[in-house]
Amino acid sequence: MSAVGAARALLVELTGTEPDGTWSAPGRANLIGEHTDYNDGFVFPFAIGERTHVALRHRDDGRIRVVSTFDADPVEVALTDLDGLFPARRDDVAEWARYPLGVAWALIQASGADAVTLGGVDLAFASDVPVGAGLSSSAAIEGATASALNDVWGLGMGRVALATAGTRAENEAVGAPTGVMDQLASMLGEADAAIFLDCRSLETEVVELGFGPAGLTLLVIDTGVKHAHSTGGYGERRAACERGAAVMGVPALRDLSVDDLPRAQELLDDVTFRRVRHIVTENQRVLDTVQTLRAHGPRAIGGLLDASHASMRDDFEISVPELDLAVDTSRATGAIGARMTGGGFGGAAIALVPDEHVEAVASAVTASFADAGFAAPHVFPVAASRGAGRDA
């Protein structure tokens, strides 16, 4: 059964009636620009074809109930009680349910709507976005929820505002210290294009990728190593970045250039310096990738992808052996560039591969995991896709 069919079936099982509609939002792959978003920097993600769907049914009692195919127990709360839950009592709510309920809370806060007068809803979720793979299954839940509630509550909020509400939900209702990149990519995605995003101004530009005409396929290699942004490693990296910016006397690491790195090395301890160096050089790689794509096409960006992975492995230290093996094997068997994608500590890698080498790369990666004693990876192609909205 498709994900949209599963969402509809779950809603019928929950309520005994058909949904009033379904909405969906995609996961995202980040071509380049990792951990730069919460440093006010630059990122270059795109929405993927895999999506989270939500089936919605109106109710007349001012309550919101959520259920999903990955947790059969419904969670229900009065809309007027959301303020009391988030963020102070978020641990009273099952972690998965904090995402949609947090979005509802953030939308009410951002729009100034009166929770007393809003109509209640039942929401049933199903998804084909891999969970914990660095493809932002969380932003897909948030984007689907935000799109649905914005429509049925008549909030009139724009896509950037909806993405910002999703980020607030993830930060405060879930407790994950992420930036805005994932939510914006999920909301603003377009076919065959990536979103060049300035995370300080929230200015966006759609940039054509041109992988198909260039005879290239982007493979995702889901290592199966699960990660969670709400655990310590992510927060520690963010704290190091904030510490480095404070010592360097700038509002955010976005305000440093490569030319500032020698001074940073003099002022910072080794670990903090390497965290800072990753962010500063990664910001430059994003700018270089966009410029290279425009000037020379996608076959010229492989070296930038490789350098990004090396920086995340060595300076930011967020890779794991499975990710390194996926990247190294992909490069050795025909990929023009490869890197881990997402927050790190597990998840997925991406490899930009000439079409004629796709099968060889996928087979080699799978074999290398077996030889290393790792669980088999899930290797699949992704294509840039449309952003969040109501299903046809």
Residues that are catalytic: 182
> For residue 387, what are its two tokens?
């952003």
| Coil, helix or strand at residue 234 | helix
Give CA–CA dist 131/138, Å, rounded.
8
Cα 129 to Cα 133, 141, 172, distances in angstroms: 9, 10, 23
Cα 126 to Cα 50, 137, 281, 386, distances in angstroms: 11, 11, 38, 18
Residue type, 371: D
Give CA–CA dist 228/137, Å, rounded.
11
CA angle 296, 300, 301 (to 5 degrees): 120
Give CA–CA dist 133/143, Å, rounded.
18
